[in-house]
Amino acid sequence: MRWGQWGVRMDSDRLRTMIEECLESGIDTFDHADIYGGPHATESDFGRVLGADPALRSRMKIITKCGILLPDKPSSAPRIKHYDTSARYILTSAEQSLSSLKTDHIDLFLIHRPDPLMQPEEMAEAFFRLKRDGKVLHFGVSNFKASQLRMIHRHWPVEVNQLQVSVEHPHALFDGSVDACMELGVRVQAWSPLGAGSMDGAAEDERLRKIHAVAEIIAQRHGLEASQVLLAWVLTHPAKITPVLGTSRIERMRTAVAVGMQRLDREEWFMLLRASTGRDVA
């Protein structure tokens, strides 16, 4: 999301360098959405690099998402931000993503947000057609609560749920969202696992300062950076959560990869939780 028009606006040369450095660092999965940077804009930037060097595609997995529509210009359709999870839209978006990314298949295709008007049977039919034609290998959802996940899972075996999970935003661990994933065997991917980059020692927010201070204490014990401790907090959870890193800086990617198998002990984990919630557990 941050590599294109909504972020640092990488040109093709810089984007290719970033992709290659990620691959060399052991990061082989790239997360897109049809709205990032504008309709299929960041996908198209990425696709130009793959089109120029098709061999890169065999070294990576591509995730993309659909279901959110944004007004592109004041005078253009759609007139209002809304969701569309109709079979027609899912199929159309998938086809455009394939074209934009210059690939013949998407490894993981997600419904970006739960749509109050979604019809699970219709969504499952679209998934079936894309799977049958070899255009999508795996399907999942993003930001789905437990009841929404179970509803879709009855009609199609959801494989992934992308949720906001971090020390700053631990709510999915307590509202049943992650529990339902564990119950159904759905993998959890955590977007914004470091709290959207807001974990800064100079942060004005008192709560964030407390989180950062505790992270620094734990970091010193383990010879880590505070950001690595925040990432280890997510990785320690028994759901075996996969972080989705949002940075556009390769050095931050490498720092994250270096966390490796580092996990926190229970007291450290709950120290950070207390800093986030402002209270001990009951």
Of 187, 164, 14, 2, nearest to 108 by C-alpha is: 187
The pLDDT assigned to 78 comes to 82
Of 191, 221, 216, 192, nearest to 202 by C-alpha is: 216
pTM for the model: 0.94
Fold that domain 1-157 belongs to in CATH: TIM Barrel (3.20.20)
H/E element holding 83?
strand 82-83
Specify the CATH number for 159-166+188-282; select among 3.30.160.60, 3.20.20.100, 3.40.630.40, 3.10.180.10.
3.20.20.100
**Is the per-residue pLDDT at 201 higher than 60?**
no
The pLDDT assigned to 204 comes to 72
What are the residue ranges spanned by the domains of the chain? 1-157, 159-166+188-282
The pLDDT assigned to 227 comes to 94
Token pair 């974990």 is at which residue? 199
Token pair 């999942």 is at which residue? 140
Of 37, 7, 191, nearest to 100 by C-alpha is: 37
- For the stretch 55-107, pLDDT in tens is 999 999 999 999 999 987 655 678 899 999 999 999 999 999 999 999 999 99
For the chain, what is the total number of helices (H) and then of strands (E)?
10, 9
Work out the average pLDDT over 185-201: 82
- Give the model's confidence band at 196: pLDDT under 50 very low, under 70 low, under 90 confident, else very high: low
Counting residues of the chain whose pLDDT is more than 70, the rounded percentage is 96
- Give the model's confidence band at 229: pLDDT under 50 very low, under 70 low, under 90 confident, else very high: very high
- Catalytic positions: 36
